[in-house]
Structure 1
Amino acid sequence: MSTELLTKFLTLLFGYAMPALECFKAIEQRPGRADQLRFWCEYWIILVLLVMFDEIAGVLISKIPMYYELKLAFLVYLWYPKTRGTDIVYETFLQPLVMQYQPNIEARLQYLRANAGDILVFYLKNFTERGYDLFLRALDYVRSQASRGSRTRSFFSFRGDRAERPSFTDDYAIGGERRDGGRHRRPRSGY
């Protein structure tokens, strides 16, 4: 098992699955403990920002030696009971930064929520038009490649009568023998 695969598995286990279970337990405790819920909400906020960073800086991350091992250590540091790094990271770095830009972030998110339908329609329309063009180009390419052989050219022809196109069943006579006298089916052995 490669170290990269092992590291990714451990990250899923210790960075996502175990904290998710702890968060579930904190929610389901009777009566609920607000401090535990706050801790796990802070953890998931930090984790989401880390995942966003991974997605945005994906190519650059691959250049950092031992990045995934460092990420695993950081995630364990965040939730480990003796360090409880989530409190430190959230209160020292994240909370002041978000509080500073919260009105601007709220305004942009509100704009996106209000215009989500228009944005979605724009992207779907753009995708379908470009997708259709790409599909037609692919068909032209296949057709140009197929025009090198006469049999495939007539098969891939989008014009002309259906009777002009060869059928795969034309190659076989009744009983499974090829008409051109080529290979024959093996005779069945008697039981």
Structure 2
Amino acid sequence: MAFGYVYPAYECYKIVERSPLEILQLLFWCHFWIIVAMLTVLEKVGDPLISWLPLYNEAKLAFFIYLWHPKTKGAASMFDFVLRPFIAKHEAKIDHYLVELSTKTADIATLFWHKTTSCSQTTLLDLLHNVSSLPTSQTHRRNQNLKDETELAAAEATEPVSTMENRVADDSKKKVSFDELSTKPKRRKRRFSSLFCAK
């Protein structure tokens, strides 16, 4: 990473920032970055196929150093003998494919934009509808609960004394009947034991 991108980028920066701009040096670094861009694209396809080879990463590093090193200046020779003839031969096809790709990309982006805006618009309208209908139902429920509680409190406050006495009497009868039920099993036990002893 350092020898393939960082150092060449720094050297290119130094060339650009010099006050008497050296055209030949600038042209060399343009050739280098064009080749690096092409290699990066090819690397995405080729890496899964040939990265298993021994010393693959070391060979790639050596090739990058060969491209920018001042003694070899491999970027200029790679550009002149490999890249320029290939692009000159296929330049019309490449331009045609790029125009088609740009129009298709624009059409897809426009279609995606329309679908996204319509979908977000319907989602927003549904959300606003749900939010606007939510508080009215909650307030209706709260009002109904308050009304039921006030009616219950008013009914208890106005209940006649005789009915309250009847309730107390009913509760005491239930208590008595429970006491009777709790005593019955004891009697049964006594009877059972007396029968057992009589035998």
Supply the distance in 1 between the matched residues of 2:91 and 2:36 (Cα, whole angstroms): 19
In the alignment of these two chains, the number of paired residues is 116
**Cα gap change, 1:22/1:123 in structure 2, threshold over 3 Å: closer, same or farther?**
farther
Report the AA paired with residue 95 of structure 2.
Answer: E
Unaligned runs of 5+ in 1: 1-11, 127-191
Within the candidate set 39, 43, 53, 1:64 is matched to: 53
- Say whether the 8 Å CA contact 1:78–1:86 is kept in structure 2: yes
Report the AA paired with residue 60 of structure 2.
Answer: K
Q: Which has the higher helix share?
A: 2
Q: 1:156 aligns to what?
A: none
Supply the distance in 1 between the matched residues of 2:113 and 2:54 (Cα, whole angstroms): 39
Q: 2:31 aligns to what?
A: 42
RMSD of the TM alignment (CA)? 2.2
Unaligned runs of 5+ in 2: 116-199
Q: 1:16 aligns to what?
A: 5
Residue 121 of structure 1, CA deviation: 4.9
**Cα gap change, 1:124/1:52 in structure 2, threshold over 3 Å: closer, same or farther?**
farther
Q: Which has the larger radius of gyration?
A: 2
Q: Deviations over 1:9-61 (max 9, x none)?
A: xxx10110000111111111112111111101110111111111111123113
Structure 1 stretches of 4+ with a deviation exceeding 6 A read 123-126
Supply the distance in 1 between the matched residues of 2:21 and 2:101 (Cα, whole angstroms): 34
TM-score (ref. length: structure 2): 0.53
The one of the two structures with greater contact order (alpha-carbon pairs below 8 A, sep at least 6) is: 2
1:82 aligns with 2:76: no
Q: 1:32 aligns to what?
A: 21
Report the AA paired with residue 38 of structure 2.
Answer: L
Supply the distance in 1 between the matched residues of 2:113 and 2:45 (Cα, whole angstroms): 23
Residue 89 of structure 1, CA deviation: 0.9
Supply the distance in 2 between the matched residues of 1:58 and 1:123 (Cα, whole angstroms): 32
Supply the distance in 2 between the matched residues of 1:75 and 1:124 (Cα, whole angstroms): 41
